[in-house]
Amino acid sequence: MMTQAGSAPIAPRRIVIDTDPGQDDAVAILLALASPELTVEAITTVAGNVPVALTTKNACALLELAGRTDIPVFAGAARPLHRAPISAEHVHGETGMAGADLPEPTLRPQAIDAATWLVDLLRREPEGAITLVCLGPMTNLALALTHAPDIASRIAGVVAMGGAQREGGNITPTAEFNFFVDPHAARIVMHSGIPITLLPLDVTHRAIATPARLALIAAVGTPVTDMVVRMLGAEDRFEKLKYGWEGGALHDPLTIGFLLWPELFSGRDCNVEIEVDAPLCMGQSVVDLWNVTDRVPNALWINDVDSDAFYSLLTERLALLD
């Protein structure tokens, strides 16, 4: 429990991380585990970067690496709501964790599926007690909302990596990967009335893992930081070739960064709709950034970050994990 000078103790924010690890998902999970301001209640997994069997295995392996096998893992949706599965081994490697070299985990997921568990958790906890951090396709949350619409009012908020406007798409000309994989799920969440913060490509493309920033992480010299540098180096190769950058963008960890250090970020409340019908624009996030329609704002759209400060703080936190 944290305290501030002259004030009462502040309880850590309780979060559930819904994820498809993925190297950048892994860094986000490790950052959350290293941060006393957050309590990770569970990790729920979904098909995305790789199939759900592998994302679940990767989540278990990461918790073992961090010495946090007390945190349960719940395997979730194996495919999108209405589309064939799409994955990204061309970016993340066949296991989703190229460069990690993690041993086979002994930790196993719980017997109950992710969506069912989410409904049970949210119904038994006080209203507003749980924040959901979505790092992959939103299939699990959409399934939970479809089966139990009453849980929407019980969720403190959703902080998600997803969408793009200024940056176009990274999987099609118009769509960001998470929203493209399951646009119908993203649309359900965006229409749920839950307070939503989106960290799209518009901001993640401002947080590049340059050689200088990776060198600072490498200098820590722990098994965790060594693994992070290897993973980000493996993932970087794709984005270096695609965009001509010095390194890859650090997408998913910005969600945890926003929870920890919101003062590093800026954005705008606006309406975001997800395209589900037009073939050329499937999964596109249509962002009314300048309020030119009468659509009611439904998200805080983050579009900038102090990336130097973020990498500095990330390095400090990763150093806390042996």
From its phi and psi, is residue 285 left (phi > 0), alpha (psi between -120 and 50) or beta?
beta
Distance CA 70, CA 232 (A): 27
What pLDDT is recorded for position 100?
81
The residue whose two tokens read 């479809």 is 146
Closest Cα partner for 165 from 11, 272, 261, 299? 272
Q: How confident is the model at residue 9 (pLDDT cuts 50, 70, 90)?
A: low
Q: Is residue 126 part of a domain?
A: yes
Considering its fold, how many domains does the chain have in total?
Answer: 1
Q: Is residue 6 part of a domain?
A: no
Q: Is residue 145 part of a domain?
A: yes
251 part of the active site: yes
Q: Is residue 4 part of a domain?
A: no
Distance CA 86, CA 136 (A): 12
Of all residues in the chain, the percent with pLDDT exceeding 90 is 83
Distance CA 86, CA 185 (A): 14
Q: Is residue 7 part of a domain?
A: no
94-to-51, 54, 55, 90, 99 alpha-carbon distances in Å: 10, 9, 11, 8, 11
The residue whose two tokens read 């719980």 is 110
The lowest-confidence range among 50-64, 80-94, 232-246, 295-309 is: 232-246
- Residue 188 C-alpha from the chain's centroid: 18
CATH number at residue 226: 3.90.245.10
Residue 303 contacts residue 266 (beta carbons within 8 Å): yes
Q: Is residue 99 part of a domain?
A: yes
Query: Computed over its alpha carbons, how large is the radius of gyration of the chain?
Result: 18
- Residue 189 C-alpha from the chain's centroid: 15
Q: Is residue 2 part of a domain?
A: no
Q: Is residue 8 part of a domain?
A: no
Range of the domain at 246: 13-319
Residue of 147, 184, 205, 251 marked active site: 251
Question: Using one digit for the tens of pLDDT, what is the confidence trace for 247-269?
Answer: 888 899 999 999 999 999 999 99
Strand partners, 268: 301
Q: How confident is the model at residue 122 (pLDDT cuts 50, 70, 90)?
A: very high
